Amino acid sequence: MNSSNETAAKNGTPAVRFENVVKRFGDLEVLKGLNFSVQPGERVTLIGPSGSGKTTILRLLMTLEKITDGVIYVEGEPLSHMKRGEKLVTANESHLREVRKKIGMVFQQFNLFPNMKVLRNITEAPVHTLGKSKDEAVAKAKELLDLVGLADKADNYPSQLSGGQQQRVAIARSLAMNPDILLLDEVTSALDPELVADVLDLLKDIATTTDITMLIVTHEMGFARDVSHRVMMFDQGVIVEDGPPSQVMGDPEHERTRAFLKAVL
Ligand code: ADP
């Protein structure tokens, strides 16, 4: 467990808390007043039909989108907006930068920098955002490349790697920032089927050997069952069901959950 997770766990502060979070895109209300908390070290998988708002939740946490109403807290700090009276106020940029450093995100489409070699993809943010020395960042990047099984690809460009290898580099890149919270957004959806297992096995390893808090959006139900402490089922911007995988996936209470699982399994 890294130090700020330890601090958060000790004083009982959730890693993530959504309080009456509403998100609208124009007239479309995508999240309808969401309330939930995720504890430090907890691994939560978000499931539900396409369009139910799962990716939006991760993007709000990354401050890639702005909420319409409510408050999101990361380790007790209001993230993007806080409510004073009736007014939504944007937290200032330097505060946001600090909070963002606690969160890593891995996307469906890898999003590696195509013009940088693999090693530099991993060292770039630790050097420029965390202010680490180049030597320290390179040593850590090599360690992470070893962890993801790509020690021999440090000097390759992303385009020279398979999709599965690129995704493993993206995972190493997010871990290089030493995040407390890792957001995984359908990270195997863009991969050829034969490359999926390697990436899921790596994520299972990371899940079981670290205490990183994880919010996972995936259609890989076996993986979700193996790694999650908790599964939240969403439909049309509300939480339909929330509990351990054995219950939500093994013995769902709600018809909507049963219908969803029947369609994906
Ligand atoms: P999920 O991840 O569950 O498939 P999303 O969070 O991606 O769902 O999307 C929820 C809804 O919000 C969808 O109807 C989607 O079309 C809409 N949406 C997402 N992003 C935008 C955007 N930038 N502009 C307009 N609508 C959006």
Q: Which residue has the tokens 């490359």?
A: 195
Looking at the predicted structure, is the pLDDT value of residue 196 above 60?
Answer: yes
Stretch among 18-27, 71-80, 92-101, 152-161 having the lowest mean pLDDT: 92-101
d(CA 224, CA 264) in angstroms, rounded, equals 13
d(CA 252, CA 242) in angstroms, rounded, equals 10
Percent of all residues in the chain with a pLDDT value above 70, rounded to a whole number: 92
CA of 119 to the centre of ligand 1 (A): 33
Average pLDDT on 121-138 reads: 95
CA of 236 to the centre of ligand 1 (A): 11
Alpha carbons within 13 A on the beta-carbon side of 105: 19
pLDDT given at position 127:
96
CB 156 within 8 A of CB 120: no
Residue nearest atom 23 of ligand 1, based on CA coordinates: 25
DSSP, res 80: S
Over residues 42-62, the pLDDT tens digits come to 999 999 999 999 999 999 999
Residue nearest atom 7 of ligand 1, based on CA coordinates: 55
pLDDT given at position 251:
94
pLDDT given at position 87:
65
Stretch among 95-104, 154-163, 246-255 having the lowest mean pLDDT: 95-104
d(CA 80, CA 66) in angstroms, rounded, equals 7
Q: Which residue has the tokens 């200032």?
A: 92
* Ligand 1 lined by 54 (C-beta under 6 Å): yes
CA of 30 to the centre of ligand 1 (A): 7
Looking at the predicted structure, is the pLDDT value of residue 136 above 80?
Answer: yes
The atom number, within ligand 1, closest to the CA of 217 reads 2
Looking at the predicted structure, is the pLDDT value of residue 186 above 80?
Answer: yes
Q: In 3-state terms, what secondary structure has residue 155?
A: coil
The atom number, within ligand 1, closest to the CA of 234 reads 3
Over residues 57-92, the pLDDT tens digits come to 999 999 889 889 999 999 998 876 655 666 666 677
* Ligand 1 lined by 25 (C-beta under 6 Å): yes
Looking at the predicted structure, is the pLDDT value of residue 9 above 70?
Answer: no
Say which residue, 11 or 229, is predicted with more confidence: 229
Percent of all residues in the chain with a pLDDT value above 90, rounded to a whole number: 77
Average pLDDT on 216-241 reads: 95
Tell me the two tokens of residue 235.
Answer: 């439909």
The atom number, within ligand 1, closest to the CA of 55 reads 2
CA of 53 to the centre of ligand 1 (A): 6
pLDDT given at position 100:
84
- From the list 167, 49, 175, 168, the residue with the least C-alpha distance to 109 is 167
Say which residue, 100 or 177, is predicted with more confidence: 177
CB 105 within 8 A of CB 167: no
Tell me the two tokens of residue 3.
Answer: 């130090």
pLDDT given at position 63:
87
Looking at the predicted structure, is the pLDDT value of residue 4 above 60?
Answer: no
* Ligand 1 lined by 30 (C-beta under 6 Å): yes
Q: pLDDT-based confidence at 164, cuts 50/70/90?
A: very high
State the sign of the Cα–Cα–Cα–Cα dihedral 188, 216, 153, 121: positive
Average pLDDT on 150-174 reads: 96
Q: Is 5 exposed, middle or buried (0-12, 13-18, 19+ CB in 10 A)?
A: buried
Q: pLDDT-based confidence at 153, cuts 50/70/90?
A: very high
Alpha-helical (H) ranges within the chain are 3-10, 54-61, 93-100, 118-128, 134-147, 163-175, 193-209, 221-227, 245-248, 255-264
CA of 60 to the centre of ligand 1 (A): 12
Average pLDDT on 97-122 reads: 92
pLDDT given at position 1:
45
CB 200 within 8 A of CB 221: no
CB 181 within 8 A of CB 99: no
pLDDT given at position 97:
81
